[in-house]
Structure 1
């Protein structure tokens, strides 16, 4: 089933904004309802168009203004885009309350997988950043893991390395690494063992007998 999504693209760089808008508009189920180059214009579009999701540049001028609109009863989900994997920048961006963070260096498949996941189930704090940066940022812990993340962590608890997990689940090793980065963020931990211990304690996965 194709996920239906009304989308706003907010970025201060015109060529990037227009290119990303065109890329999104070409995807089945995605309708770009507006573009913005600063925080105030983004807020105006949110209130007028009621989008399902906003792709928001972490360095957008006036990005803090979006925080107010995000607290309104009918608020869009936010995906924070960053050109620089800077932990301090990402931590400041958390005050806006995004559902996801993704590097502008990510592939189109990563971006659209993220969009469809968030729009379909509202999964908060989906992260596509390097593990080093993700571990430095103090994201709010949600304690919620997707079914796939639980599968990954259950295999990790059995001592599987990333390559073995990837082989078992028929996915790329890079995909496993991104799942682990998401898990660390959601559980508020910084290592595989901490993630396993925390998940077992929270009864998210089964302990090893």
Structure 2
């Protein structure tokens, strides 16, 4: 069964270029293109795609608002497209429910891989820039609350009390950016076991994916910005 994709970008050449690359791949079908956020939301509502590639900055309804609506209304996975490797708007996109983001100069193979990864239920957490964005956002604080000092993190929240000790450690390692294989090596268990731990973490904390898990870990004091283990 093909992965159904909608590509939304106000620049026609960028949009059609991404669509052409993806449509040429086995098992991927671009079902629509959109030139702004409103068109993107409409396409998702009509066609129920698996993945939406969504530009951050577009006229009218921008990518952030479109991501918020799509993630609230559907199970479609959203990947933000940006020209910048550090873009404040991406912070809001992560909270809106986006599964990650790509730079517009992404390589062809990485674009295809990203679509397959998010369609499979994972998130674009591997690039270090994503971890930096999450850590920096939490350090600065969300717009609706004052920033907290990174040197004085809160104690782990009661929300995390539903996790077992192993699940909590899994969440901590996710927030440090480790892959399932790296976590398996750390625990000396199989990747299948790690996948079960990750699934339990997401289920118990009512999180969409690994990106949301990382945000949760930072917000609730399980890790602090700049903590990469060692």
Q: TM-score, normalised by structure 1?
A: 0.65
In 2, are the aligned partners of 1:114 and 1:126 still within 8 Å (CA)? no
Deviations 1:90-149 (A, max 9, x none): 2132243101212122222222222212212x1235253637843423399x93564234
Which sections of structure 1, spanning at least 5 residues, go unmatched? 156-181, 197-209
State the Cα RMSD in Å.
3.2
Structure 1 residues 176-201: Cα deviation after superposition (integer angstroms, max 9, x where no partner): xxxxxx8x9565342322xx6xxxxx
SS of match in other structure, 1:130: helix
- 8 A contact 2:114–2:124 mirrored in 1: no
Determine whether 1:13 maps to 2:49.
no
Give the match for residue 147 of structure 1.
180
Number of the residue aligned with 1:89:
89
Q: Could you say what secondary structure the match of 1:115 adopts?
A: helix
Which consecutive residues of structure 2, in runs of 5 or more, have no partner in the other structure? 143-169, 188-210, 219-224
Question: Which of 177, 192, 199 is the matching residue for 2:228?
Answer: 192
Label 1:60 to 1:105 Cα distance change in 2 as closer, same or farther (>3 A). Answer: same
Query: Contact 2:5/2:53 (CA < 8 Å) preserved in 1?
Result: yes
Shift of 1:5: 0.3
| Change beyond 3 A, Cα 1:131–1:100 | closer
Partner of 1:70: 71
State how many pairs are aligned: 162
CA distance, structure 2, for counterparts of residue 108 and residue 7 of structure 1: 16
Distance 1:51 1:76 in 2: 6
* 2:8/2:15 contact within 8 Å kept: yes
> Normalized against structure 2, the TM-score is what?
0.60
Check 1:125–1:20 CA distance in 2 against 1; reply closer, same or farther (3 A cut). Answer: closer
> Aligned residue for 2:155?
none
Give, in whole Å, the separation in 2 of the partners of 1:43 and 1:49: 10
Q: Determine which of 19, 26, 29 is the counterpart of 1:28.
A: 26
